[in-house]
Structure formats: C-alpha cells, structure tokens
C-alpha cells in the first residue's frame, strides 16, 4: 500500500491567496484526520471525518478554514484567504476505525508570505 498521500509537499503563497491541500487516505480506512504542526503549538487536530462525514471540526481555527471529503478516497483542506500565521506543516492521517492506529502522510509545508 502506498500509505497516506498528500499534495503538494510544499506550498508557498502570498497572503490573501486561496490554498488547497489534498489528501488520499489508505484504501479501506474509514477515518480521516487533518492536523497542523507548528513550533509554538505543536500538533493540533483540526478536523476529523468518519465515513466521509465531518464529526468534529472544533479544531478548525476560523471560518477561513474549510475541509471536505467528497468520497472515501479524497479529502481537501482549504484556506481562503490565507494569512502568514497559517504557515505550518499540515498533516493528513487515516485509520481503519475510530480507535485504531492513525497513519500519517508526509505533510504539506505551507508558507504564506
């Protein structure tokens, strides 16, 4: 299995631009998670999907952030408009079920200038 796939691996954009991060979970996994990692705050859960349905989005920072999972093999995290403080590494993870091991993708390093 290819593992969790994220794209792009690096994204540099200017403040105000829209950014879309993509994730392909491991085939057969029912749960998908988006995390953000910064030096200051560590690793934070942004949103959790189960069977393509958003279950907990309490970690989404503000309305500028949105996430979708149109099918079991694809999810997006969108930031519109982006701000410099959004600069971080964004990880997607998937698991077989809600209590199972989470497998992380390689992350997308986002830099907002």
Strands 108-112 and 10-13: parallel
Work out how close the CB of 43 gets to other proteins at its nearest, in angstroms, rounded to a whole number: 4
Asked whether the bond before 81 is cis by omega within 30 degrees of 0, the reply is yes
Residue nearer to other proteins on the CB measure, 50 or 87 = 50
Work out how close the CB of 108 gets to other proteins at its nearest, in angstroms, rounded to a whole number: 10
> Binding of other proteins at residue 111 (CB under 8 A)?
no
Work out how close the CB of 90 gets to other proteins at its nearest, in angstroms, rounded to a whole number: 11
Contact in structure between 91 and 9 (CB atoms under 8 Å): no
Contact in structure between 7 and 75 (CB atoms under 8 Å): no
> Binding of other proteins at residue 50 (CB under 8 A)?
yes
d(CA 11, CA 21): 9
Q: List the one residue from 15, 27, 28, 43 that touches other proteins (CB under 8 A).
A: 43
């Amino acid at each position: 299995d290819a593992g969790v796939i994220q794209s792009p691996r690096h994204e540099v954009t200017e403040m105000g631009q829209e950014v879309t991060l993509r994730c392909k979970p491991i085939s057969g996994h029912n749960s998908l998670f988006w995390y953000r990692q910064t030096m200051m705050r560590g690793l934070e859960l942004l949103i959790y999907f189960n069977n393509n349905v958003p279950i907990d989005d309490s970690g989404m920072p503000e309305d500028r952030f949105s996430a979708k999972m149109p099918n079991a093999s694809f999810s997006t995290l969108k930031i519109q408009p982006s701000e410099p403080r959004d600069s971080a590494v964004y990880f997607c993870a998937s698991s077989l079920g809600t209590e199972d091991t989470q497998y992380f993708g390689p992350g997308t390093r986002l830099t907002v200038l």
